[in-house]
Amino acid sequence: MATVYEERARVFKALCDQRRQRILELLRGGEKCACVLIEEMEMPQSSLSYHMKILCDSGIVTSREEGKWTHYQISRQGSEKAIALLREITAVTETPDGCESCCQ
């Protein structure tokens, strides 16, 4: 079972690459076949597969097979979970003593 840190790392790894951000932008318009993504991204199939595996492992993207091609789409549930993770990790919590207790 993955730790919370491993889960967060998968999500942020998916988002930290400019090519994967471009793929997500393309998928915002709806489901796309790998053949369309290969053409739009101007990258070889092996490179696209690498990036799609990272996006799918994060849960932000889902895939389905149809014949020899794979079709990808943004997962509403996965993207909502990614947003919740970002909110969770950046939420500011006040300690009762603040910083004063350690800095004096």
Task: Give Cα separations from 23 to 6, 27, 74, 91 (angstroms).
Answer: 23, 6, 10, 28
Residue with tokens 């489901």: 31
**pTM of the complete model:** 0.85
Q: How far is CA 89 from the centre of its chain?
A: 15
Q: Answer yes or no: is 96 within a domain.
A: no
Q: Answer yes or no: is 94 within a domain.
A: no
Helix (H) or strand (E) segment spanning residue 48 = helix 45-58
Write out pLDDT tens, residues 45-72: 999 999 999 999 999 999 999 999 999 9
Q: Is the pLDDT of residue 95 over 90?
A: no
Q: Answer yes or no: is 15 within a domain.
A: yes
Q: Which range marks the domain in which residue 42 is found?
A: 4-87
Write out pLDDT tens, residues 6-42: 989 999 999 999 999 999 999 999 999 999 999 999 9
Q: How many structural domains compose the chain?
A: 1
Q: Answer yes or no: is 103 within a domain.
A: no
Residue with tokens 């840190």: 5
Q: Answer yes or no: is 95 within a domain.
A: no
| DSSP for residue 98 | T
Q: Please, which residues bridge with residue 69 across strands?
A: 66
